[in-house]
Amino acid sequence: MNTENEPVRTLVKRSVVIVDPDSTLRQAAATLADDYIGVAVVPEAGPANHAGGVISERDIVRALAEGVDPDREVARNVMTLDLATASVGDTIMSVAECMLDNEIRHMPVVDDGAVVGIVSERDVLRSLVSERRSAS
């Protein structure tokens, strides 16, 4: 099978990790570390699986570099709001291209407006390299 044309939903392997908008940066960082992930969804008001944004390691590092107090600053103030997302049926290759074009390492995968998973550039790369190795 041609992995490039497979739907990105095949890469979604775990449930979405949520960080409360009012979590401190220290709490958000602990969540990322505890779950061995680089990004978590910050829900909007309403359904918990609808993203208001995401908070990433990059967001936290940027805020710390600007001098914020990690025990006072909250996720909602430093999260990324302008999200590039993938639909469950988008191809793995189109997601890879979008990630490169937008210079992002993680992309929420949505189905009918709800975030059903997050794929990382490592997930995408692993799937493409795995197919290549299998073909050799």
The pLDDT assigned to 68 comes to: 98
Chain centroid, CA 36 distance in Å: 12
The pLDDT assigned to 48 comes to: 54
The pLDDT assigned to 45 comes to: 64
Model pLDDT for residues 17-43, shown as the tens digit of each residue: 999 999 999 999 999 999 999 999 998
The model's pTM: 0.86
Q: Which residue has the higher pLDDT, 1 or 131?
A: 131
**Per-domain boundaries in the chain:** 3-135
Distance from C-alpha of 130 to C-alpha of 57, rounded to nearest angstrom? 27
User: Which class would CATH give 3-135?
Assistant: alpha beta
Split at pLDDT 50, 70, 90, the class of 46 is: low
Kindly provide the b/e burial profile for residues 75-110, where b requires at least 16 CB atoms within 10 angstroms of the residue's own CB: bbebbbeebebbeeebbbbbbbebbeeeebebbbbb
The pLDDT assigned to 133 comes to: 73
SS (H, E, C) the chain: CCHHHCEHHHHCCCCCCECCCCCEHHHHHHHHHHCCCCEEEEECCCCCCCEEEEEEHHHHHHHHHCCCCCCCCEHHHHCECCCCCEECCCEHHHHHHHHHHHCCCEEEEEECCEEEEEEEHHHHHHHHHHHHHHHC
